[in-house]
Amino acid sequence: MKTTRIDIEGPNGNATIARSDMTIEIIGRRGTRVIETRDGRSCLGYRRFRWAVNAGNYDEIDEIARRLQRALDGYEGTNGDVADYRRVLAAFED
């Protein structure tokens, strides 16, 4: 079995994680602001992000897991919060 892509979602955004050769690519979007529509409803405005990390650089993968947790959850989490994202990235490591 080979994992080629994982889609994840948090309360503040979503991301797709995929591997290409020796690079783990993360493409996603995170909520940045609330926008009021003409009819009085509100919707979330998003900002896109794209990160790439070497599949063999474990320190860099740890840092990307922290950034991903902060982007998708909307707050800086504890080590336990980050560990969930780290486990997803581990599927693509060397």
Q: What is the DSSP string of 10-61?
A: ETTEEEEEEEETTEEEEEEEEEEEEEE-TTS-EEEEEEEEEEEEETT-HHHH
- β-strand partners of 51: 26
pLDDT score, position 65: 96
Q: Give domain limits for the chain.
A: 5-90
Q: How many CB atoms lie within 10 A of CB 71?
A: 23
Going residue by residue through the chain (94 aa), what tens digit of pLDDT does each one get?
Answer: 777 899 999 999 999 999 988 999 999 999 888 888 888 888 878 899 999 999 999 999 999 999 999 999 989 988 889 999 999 999 998 7
pLDDT score, position 54: 94
| pTM of the predicted model as reported, rounded to 2 decimal places | 0.84
Tokens of 67: 């950034």
